[in-house]
A and B are shown apart, each in its own frame.
Chain A
């Protein structure tokens, strides 16, 4: 009996669906780890009906080529870095900025905007459809912090010091805080910090271990619980629609499970990062409350301004306020699902 069952099941499931996943970052980076976790889950849950080939480290294309890769279905799934595509996904840009909340809450905020609040969901989905993509799940990066090559305790200690700048609006933030923005590429950061091209690094703590910056720091300035949600697992829309309903459901379930896993993982990485700092003699300081507020006020001011400019350029200024209304509360941790009655 058992053998016959297996035979039948085998027949129904002979059609193995092969998918290609691509990511431009290193396989050791947390977004890659999260994607791998999700894809493994899907493969396991579908008993081999789905087989996903993974291409990491930009082996099929640079970061900037990735939207094209997935929207033209050269690959089926990517880990999408939203901030690289403001022209294509203007409304999505704000979701990819700092929130002064825990990973759990940051993730809940994004989920509400993309899946639960009808008016924002409609806007964001329309933008995805325009690009022929389906965003499946987001990735909470964990807290961002500041690592300095000299002893530091407050924002004042950063004045006149050189900090790496990545996003364009960060330049304005740093200038306003009296920090000197310096153009350094991520692969150059290690050498640049060790030789004094920059004095401080502003980046997600999750990058610290893999990029070894604990080897260089004197102090790590914690900014408390804050999160950027980014690098969503993104499907080609047509490919997604062509998947059987049960497979789609498995992907959705797996993405929910993975979200929880990634939040736990981010906490663990945060702890590991602090351990790494301590072991290599880096002091961990927490930025005083008023400094922290000032830092994020400045950051929010320019990230919002920058986003609204992008939206204006792409002719969606009328739509941005619909999202901004929620976001202005969410990013300060002043929004909750219960209170909003969802």
Chain B
């Protein structure tokens, strides 16, 4: 590794040091990027970067997905929609231990089928599901953990921005990639539910059984309150599915849907006004991290560290499975400090052909990288999804990180499955598209 790469390594260490003693995360990244850019890129480069980057990153349309879905969920929560959905769910599955968490996982997977960004899913469910889970006396750490990892299901349900970008970088079929994530996504959802029920069995006090007494009549009556909820879901999912609008604006449309329901239910002006205020305040906790994450990623790119590390890996001449293990570790380590898609753009065009050369499956490998990008979103110390859950739940991030551990294990288990059984990924696309067409 050359001088610049070492500078990057020292900067990481400095940044983690600041992080550990409680500096705000975006300040850690901004300071790291400033010092590192000064040393590697010099003052001219640094002056230019800090002048143009904040505006230019904040004004990226792709990120509008975050405040839009935040808005939708804050409105849904403040206007009583979330409560209605959960009271119905309680009547039906309250008897199953951990049933509400399982319902949250299923709902997140369904929601993931409309949204292209995991952090949007996390925002929605921390706002919509968590307060209701807490009302039913579910353990907060566990509930937050489940919500944070359920967000990762989003990337494994089409549409998925990750699959599209990585397929383009690796020059494989986007359509196949999008089909290929479905089966592993469903498997992961089942694994999460399995962990929930095991935990419920070990620590029943964390997931109490609620509402044992509801009769069948009550069960059907309660479905009436689901009407408005179904209306909003139909607008968001239906609109995206039938091509009325692209996923990015789904949140904006959903917000309008919730407002219509709120007007119908005569929700007060105050609740609506407060929802808008709350949305921008929550959003402003998330955005500085996104912006500074990108500024920091640019510094890492400038240092040449990713390329250098790849050079080391390829020089090793190791066996197939050791190689993939090192690649996984490589992505997890860099994923701690670098925005994943920035990193993918630099590394996938180099790493993918190497993995192909030693005989990994083309689609299976795409999935491994996509899954890693989802894992990076919840991995401490900089797991964006966990921060979002923490901010909305007003809990310290480390509590969320503690909550995800058992579920994160399942994500790693799926990663292993994909390494050894790529058929999990290729089965569905092969069925739908026939065997691979290559150009």
Contact = CB atoms under 8 A, between A and B. Distances in A.
CB–CB under 8 A between A and B in the complex? yes
A215 B173 contact: yes
A73 B45 CA distance: 7
A68 B44 CA distance: 11
Contacts of A60: 49, 298, 301-302
A184 interface: yes
Interface stretch (A124-132, A259-267, A273-281, A282-290): A273-281
Given A211-B168, A212-B168, A55 B302 contact: yes
A59 B167 CA distance: 18
Given A59-B298, A209-B439, A190 B48 contact: no
A266 B437 CA distance: 23
A131 to B, nearest CB: 14
B346 A185 contact: no
B44 A59 contact: no
B174 interface: yes
Contacts of A184: 246
B246 A197 contact: yes
Nearest to A185: B61
A158 interface: no
A69 interface: yes
Nearest to A276: B439
A206 B246 CA distance: 24
A72 B51 CA distance: 11
Contact of B53 (A61, A185, A190): A61
B346 A212 contact: no
B169 A68 contact: no
Interface in A150-197: 184-185, 187-188, 190-192, 194-197
Interface in A42-83: 53, 55-62, 64-65, 68-69, 72-75
Interface string B287-311: 0000000000110011010000000
A212 to B, nearest CB: 4
A59 B342 contact: yes
B44 A188 contact: no
A160 B167 CA distance: 32
Interface stretch (B69-77, B235-243, B372-380): B235-243
B230 to A, nearest CB: 21
Given A26-B345, A27-B349, A59-B297, A192 B243 contact: yes
Q: SS class of chain B's interface: helix, strand, loop or mixed? A: helix
A276 B439 CA distance: 7
A26 B164 contact: no
B44 A191 contact: no
A241 interface: no
A279 B439 contact: yes
Interface residues of A, number: 42
A37 to B, nearest CB: 15
Given A59-B297, A62-B60, A195-B241, A275 B439 contact: yes
B77 to A, nearest CB: 28
A272 interface: yes
Contacts of A69: 48, 52
A293 interface: no
A275 B120 CA distance: 39
B171 interface: yes
A48 B409 CA distance: 48
Contact of A74 (B44, B60, B242, B243): B44
B322 to A, nearest CB: 27
Nearest to B297: A59
Closest 9 A/B residue pairs (Cβ): A196-B243, A57-B345, A195-B243, A59-B301, A74-B48, A74-B45, A212-B174, A65-B52, A188-B246
23 contacts: A26-B168, A26-B169, A53-B304, A56-B346, A59-B297, A59-B302, A59-B346, A60-B302, A61-B56, A65-B52, A68-B52, A69-B48, A74-B44, A74-B49, A75-B45, A185-B61, A191-B164, A191-B247, A194-B243, A197-B246, A211-B168, A215-B173, A279-B439
Given A196-B242, A272-B439, 17 more contacts: A26-B169, A58-B345, A60-B49, A61-B56, A62-B57, A65-B53, A185-B61, A188-B248, A190-B164, A191-B116, A191-B247, A194-B243, A196-B243, A210-B168, A212-B173, A212-B175, A276-B439
Interface of A: 26-28, 53, 55-62, 64-65, 68-69, 72-75, 184-185, 187-188, 190-192, 194-197, 209-212, 215-216, 272, 275-276, 279-280
